[in-house]
Amino acid sequence: MLGSAGARKRRVGAPPRRCGHAGRVPAVGRPEPPARVGCIAHDGAGRVDAMLNLPTSLTLARIFMVPFLVVVLLAPPSRLADTPFFGTASPALREILGVAIFLVAILTDFLDGFLARRRDQVTTLGTLLDPIADKLLTSAAFISLVEMGLAPAWMVVIIVGREFVVSGLRSVMATQGVALPASSLGKLKTTVQAVAIVLLILTRSLDRWGRWGYLGVWALWISMIIALISAVDYLVKFVRTVELGAVRPDAKGRAG
């Protein structure tokens, strides 16, 4: 009686047992015993929950905002006449709504990285989706502005093309196990791009408020110049890294 009571006391407060008898290798030909009642299941659901954390959810929300931004900017008024909100919305209200969607998406870009580092929730899925979400957002906004006649197409081609070139360089470096971190020029480029997109969306409203519509094109010029400079900076870093990688094996051979 005392022995069984002591065993019950030891079982109270003991750590939860893992299902499937983890750590035990079953004998050949002998089936694995069934999981005991009260143990904790450790399957792929836990890994999925860990990947779909709050920072990753914010990144996914930014991706889902892209089509809403395009619809607000590009849908003609005749297509929106039957909708309860957009049917009576003025062009100025649609511009403000487009800016609001874009700024909320930019805010999620800041929050997902901050929360991932603060809460130690950096995942492979989040690392993969974050640059994709950024490029989708900026590319969709710039292409929509070209369609609206508010941004020169050739400038947008240079800016969007720069994003693909830098992404290609990073992919090549990643295959070699070398990370190409974002530079200060790249971060400045992202900030100026966000300012340019906001000003370009508000071009007509800025003209009505005091003939300030040219500010968007000026900001786009600055954004394009910084994008080109940062692309050259990334290219120089890439070439230097490739040259160092090509020299190291020869140096090891001579040392041996």
At residue 245 the predicted structure's pLDDT band, cuts being 50, 70 and 90, is low
Model confidence over 172-201: pLDDT tens digits?
887 777 777 777 888 899 899 999 999 999
- Per-residue model confidence (pLDDT) at position 226: 94
Q: Global pTM?
A: 0.71
Domains contained in the chain, number: 2
Pair 124, 158 in one domain: no
Model confidence over 4-13: pLDDT tens digits?
545 444 444 4
- Show the domain range for 107: 43-129
Residue 18 backbone phi and psi in degrees, to 5:
-85, 140
Between CA 235 and CA 244, with CA 241 as vertex, the angle to 5 degrees is: 140
Model confidence over 43-62: pLDDT tens digits?
444 455 556 788 888 999 99
Pair 154, 232 in one domain: yes
Pair 107, 159 in one domain: no
In a domain? residue 254: no
Pair 118, 161 in one domain: no
Tokens of 208: 């009505």
In a domain? residue 125: yes
In a domain? residue 30: no
Pair 56, 98 in one domain: yes
Residues 6 or more apart from 77 whose CB is under 8 A from it?
86
At residue 77 the predicted structure's pLDDT band, cuts being 50, 70 and 90, is low
More confident residue, 210 or 26: 210
Pair 103, 157 in one domain: no
Q: Work out the average pLDDT over 131-135.
A: 88
With 60 as the cut, is the pLDDT of residue 256 above it? no
Q: What's the distance, Cα to Cα, between the start and end of the chain in Å? A: 72
